[in-house]
């Protein structure tokens, strides 16, 4: 959970409170600037942690029966 609120998040319109993704072409419609690209940034930027999608974790298949014993 700490990583979602990390201060070192790259600032871009994709994570902005005022931006909403449109289409699959990497464009964002901004309430302040209109249509912008996903990687743009302006002075009105306000971080919205709910717009970030966590990276999927991979699960290895290298389990043995001893791993499941109590």
Output the pLDDT for position 2.
56
| pLDDT of 6 above 80 | no
Domains of the chain, first to last: 2-51 (2.20.70)
Lowest mean pLDDT among 2-11, 20-29, 55-64: 2-11
First-to-last C-alpha distance (Å) of the chain = 29
Output the pLDDT for position 61.
81
- Rounded to two decimals, the pTM is 0.62
The per-residue b/e assignment along 10-34, b for 16 or more CB within 10 angstroms, e otherwise, is eebbbbbebbeeeeeeebbebeeee
> Which band of pLDDT confidence, cut at 50, 70 and 90, is reported for residue 31?
very high
Whole-number Å distance between alpha carbons of 2 and 29: 28
């Amino acid at each position: 959970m700490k990583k979602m609120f990390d201060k070192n998040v790259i600032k871009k319109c994709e994570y902005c409170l005022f931006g909403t993704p449109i289409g699959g072409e990497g464009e964002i419609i901004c309430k302040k600037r209109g249509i912008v690209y996903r990687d743009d940034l302006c002075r009105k930027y306000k971080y919205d942690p709910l717009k970030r999608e966590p990276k999927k974790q991979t699960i290895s298949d290298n389990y043995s029966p001893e791993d499941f014993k109590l």
